[in-house]
Structure 1
Amino acid sequence: MNKHISDSQTSNVARPTKAEAEAAVKTLLLWMGEDPSREGLLETPKRVAKAYKELFSGYHQSPEEELGTVFEEVAGYKDMVLIKDIKFFSHCEHHMVPIIGKAHIGYLPNGSVVGLSKIARVVDMFAHRLQTQESMTAQIAHSIQNILKPLGVAVLIEAEHMCMAMRGIRKQGSTTLTTTFTGSFEQDVANQVRFMTMLRSGS
């Protein structure tokens, strides 16, 4: 599984300044044959640096922060919790072009649940990093499993990759599906079937 640099590690890495990032954008503009001094591109390096700060903000967030608060008063609820159609935008780590998709996440509580928005925030956090779909799927599942410690986690991601649609083979509309199962989902195929059945019902 692809391992991203942790927050503790990034503090030891010499990070370029904003001015250096803007200069790098200007270099790319020159390389592609553009004139960075023309009116329409004068502010582009600043805009790109600002946009990248937002698009890749996930490097400065941690799943522990998002999943740290749980609720134990759930009236004995023990069945699956399923959050469908969590839409996201990410970027392919190979070509740095968009991945557009949605995540479906289910987990079996082990005495406590987490706020539904927190699950969506975890998806958003990992999406705001350079990714492969396979890595992102596993990262989401294992983060929820390791922090919440439920009986099991199921994650399915379906996405279109612009690196396949915009360049190379240029096939638009194709969708990639990836799954990761942990705990009772990994051990019991019946739970996987129930997850997929609930996921497709009403869709």
Structure 2
Amino acid sequence: MLDLRAPTLPHELGEYLARADYKRDFRERRVALRNSASWKLERLQHFEEIGDASRDALRRGDWQGALRLFDARRDALVASAADDARRGSAFNRLRIVEEPLTPYVQWELHWLRLSAECGHHVRVLPASAVAASETEGMLPELTILGGRVLYRVVYTESGTPDGAMRFTDPETVGRWAAFISDAYATADDVRRYFTRVVEPLPPPQAA
């Protein structure tokens, strides 16, 4: 387990952004980043992605089609990783996993492995490693851009995206960035995890 406990995230310090506003705000801020690290923490084990052809293929049970659609995006992944490197703005993604893997997470780990192969920074951490921080509930879904803004992504009960809470208080953002950074430092490279855990698995059931 990690020695540190996750910091608090006081709801009253945040500002709710509807999904379209969140996407626009996130995109504008990320494009403007220079020479600063960003962090993404993923904890939920099931999501309902919107407008993702590969996710739709998984729902239909077309596993090979889902993987082909991932591979078709390889060039775009390489380009985005190169752009991050040019701007000195690494985007570090930490995926918390529970085993046995849900169909969604098994599918997503194929995408994250491909992302890492294309130059993105992705690590995997077992849920047991953050148990000390989850005595009162699961860790939130967070993205931190450049140490200046934190988004707590909001989902419906079915796992559909529903906007985000935006936090800009420097102390709050800084504490969470430090927590995710420390957790990331203990995590496994997604490619090693994939070879050990994901590669031997049969195709997941439609989900």
Question: Shorter-chain TM-score: which interval?
Answer: under 0.3
Q: Which structure's CA Rg is the greater one? A: 1
Q: Normalised by the size of structure 1, how large is the TM-score? A: 0.26
